[in-house]
Amino acid sequence: MTTDPLVVFTPSGKRGHFPIGTPILTAARQLGVDLDSVCGGRGICSKCQITPSYGEFPKHGVTVSEDALSEWNAVEQRYDDKRGLKPGRRLGCQASVQGDVVIDVPPESQVHRQVVRKAAAARAITMDPATRLYFVVVEEPDMHSPTGDLERLERALREQWKIDAITADLSLMSKLQPVLRKGKWEVTVAVHKGHKDNVARIVEIWPGLHEHGLYGLAIDLGSTTIAAHLTDLETGEVKASSGLMNPQIRFGEDLMSRVSYAMMNPGGDKEMTKAVREAINDLTTSIADEAGIDAALIVETVFVCNPVMHHLLLGLDPVELGQAPFALATSESMSLPAREMELTNMNPRALVYILPCIAGHVGADCAAVALSEEPGKSEDLVLIVDVGTNAEILLGNTHRVLACSSPTGPAFEGAQISSGQRAAPGAIERIEIDPVTKEPRFRVIGSENWSDEDGFDQDIATTGITGICGSGIIEAVAEMRIAGLLDESGLIGSAEQTGTPRCVPEGRTNSYLIHDASAEGGPRITVTQGDIRAIQLAKSALYAGARLLMDEMEVDRVDRVVLAGAFGAHISTKHAMVLGMIPDAPLDKVSSAGNAAGTGARIALCNIGSRAEIERVVREITKVETAIEPKFQDHFVAANAIPHKTDPFPELAQVVTLPAPSFNTGGGDDEKSGRRRRRRS
């Protein structure tokens, strides 16, 4: 039986006996304990910090004496003087075993640390990025055994980090010699390892120990907006989030109009590719500025996007996506250098990963939602809807997962709405309408106060009230229905019919006035009949897509609903139900998942194993194509009423009592909707 001291690591519980004098870092490595190190135990990176515990540990069967570790040494003292170590901390590469000891590895010293996510039910992200930093000491050149600098760097990586078969491109080669000499043969390299080819690429090299971090971008490239999260590749922390409108909007509001633009205009696809790449370059610069980091430290970017955005980003002509059978150039994931996509404002050797598409119109954004929400691991039947300009819809459980994409249009994002705007300071995001007085009160982005509360005017002094964003317009329509300003068919009543002068005639229809600052030269914010129709079309498309998946699954009910996307994050369940946006589900089983596609992109950025996982999962997802399914149209028409006529949520009565006026006087706008109703009845 060994008499060597016992070392117990927490929280892993891994334990083993080690000879006196073994550095804790070495013990950790031999046991497979997750303890970080960039400098390879040279006492300069401080990544290996540990906390020894002293005293009785009956649970582990050890007593730890004060001299269980070697004495605090000069290296630790130097680090403490320079940077400061937290009380009780030691450097794992410096402290060595002298007796039985219990060692805690704090989260920030774990390589595969978990990233805390806000939503309690959401999956944790375990850090295991494709690109990592390694500090190496490289042998100096020698006349008697002549080898190249790259070969000696390669040997150092093999011997010190067990990294084989490295590659470096010409631009890296041109930095190699001066950096090695500047660092006096000590350098830090950022090495990217692909999950498919296992090739180790040197992405960047710095003299000495590089201490300014490594970053990645997770980009959700939507038809209307581009959202980016700048993420620390060591900690998983999101350093900055930023977004901008997709400039391709000028070529067409929705996907099909952009495909048409490419079909009708020779070179149109190239124009759109150029526009989106320029926007991503601008976004890269601005988000790095916002986080105060050098954009050259961005070494990886993950994209999630729908198939049309995917093709236009990659410079592929999307025309085949405009007609059945909607063939993609490739549905496989893509890994390629950023510079091949003219993404020039990040590290020149940065790599891009694009999640796989599922098929047809069901893209990498839907795959990202599947990665984030894991419907295939759900015991109960879950319906996940992620709303953007297209809705990505997944229905499934452990037996089967179905997916479709439904063309909701940009109304849910505030586009094609008369007073609509992107979610930005000054936009109305919440609204309530008093059912008795029919007066509105609202909140705008940038203020915690409602418009009738003290402090609101100060809050909005700089931004003003500029328009309505996607969540605001949905609440407005639902509140108008609750307040009796809107009938079941979606028709806005006149001032006489509703009893409020806020219902004002506009042509042959009526609008509801929310805010009027026109006297001071400000905007006049209304909800028009056209806005209501845009929302009705969007919500009907959403409902019809979900219903189609339920038909395919041969179910009439789902066990739970997860609302994702900007919509999921900001819209109350009540308002979604009043509108009849989603199929029936128990109220307490409807939850919000935030930006699931963006989260999927972050997961793929931070954890290389998740890339292989989603590539496997998408092969098991059955795609349902909405565009050619006749039942989609039937469901679409049936879903037009507010709330849905045949699926009006029995639970809705618990939340709100809806008046049922009919404002149709047989003319005006609503000959069309009258016809629609007649056809249905």
Residues that bind ligand FES (CB under 6 A): 25, 37, 39, 41-48, 91-93
Report, in Å, the least distance between residue 45 CB and ligand FES. 3
Contact call for residues 586 and 561 (beta carbons, < 8 A)? no
Report, in Å, the least distance between residue 418 CB and ligand FES. 60
Contact call for residues 103 and 7 (beta carbons, < 8 A)? yes
**CA nearest neighbour of 222 among 364, 325, 327, 372:** 364
**Helix spans in 339-380 (H):** 364-373
44 vs 364, beta carbon nearer ligand FES: 44
Q: Can you spell out the DSSP letters for 108-153?
A: GG-TTPEEP-SSTTSPPEEPB-SEEEEEEEPPPP-TTS---HHHHH
70 vs 449, beta carbon nearer ligand FES: 70
42 vs 182, beta carbon nearer ligand FES: 42
The backbone torsions φ and ψ at residue 8, rounded to the nearest 5 degrees and listed phi first, read -115, 125
161 vs 649, beta carbon nearer ligand FES: 161
Contact call for residues 480 and 527 (beta carbons, < 8 A)? yes
The backbone torsions φ and ψ at residue 175, rounded to the nearest 5 degrees and listed phi first, read -90, -20
Report, in Å, the least distance between residue 23 CB and ligand FES. 9
CA distance 542 to 313: 26
46 vs 284, beta carbon nearer ligand FES: 46
Contact call for residues 244 and 275 (beta carbons, < 8 A)? no
CA distance 599 to 374: 12
CA distance 486 to 484: 5
91 vs 476, beta carbon nearer ligand FES: 91
Report, in Å, the least distance between residue 213 CB and ligand FES. 15
CA distance 206 to 347: 13
For the chain, what is the radius of gyration of the CA atoms?
A: 29
183 vs 545, beta carbon nearer ligand FES: 183
Please list, in sequence order, all residues whose beta carbon lies within 8 angstroms of the beta carbon of residue 55, skipping any fewer than 6 positions away: 63, 64
Angle at 42 between CA 41 and CA 48, to 5 degrees: 45
Report, in Å, the least distance between residue 90 CB and ligand FES. 10
Report, in Å, the least distance between residue 26 CB and ligand FES. 11
**CA nearest neighbour of 595 among 616, 569, 614, 632:** 569
Residue showing the smallest CB distance to ligand FES in the complex: 93
Report, in Å, the least distance between residue 20 CB and ligand FES. 20
37 vs 540, beta carbon nearer ligand FES: 37
DSSP state of 658: P
Contact call for residues 206 and 183 (beta carbons, < 8 A)? yes
Report, in Å, the least distance between residue 111 CB and ligand FES. 12
Report, in Å, the least distance between residue 69 CB and ligand FES. 14
79 vs 353, beta carbon nearer ligand FES: 79
41 vs 674, beta carbon nearer ligand FES: 41
**CA nearest neighbour of 244 among 263, 266, 265, 220:** 220
Report, in Å, the least distance between residue 35 CB and ligand FES. 8
Report, in Å, the least distance between residue 137 CB and ligand FES. 13
37 vs 626, beta carbon nearer ligand FES: 37
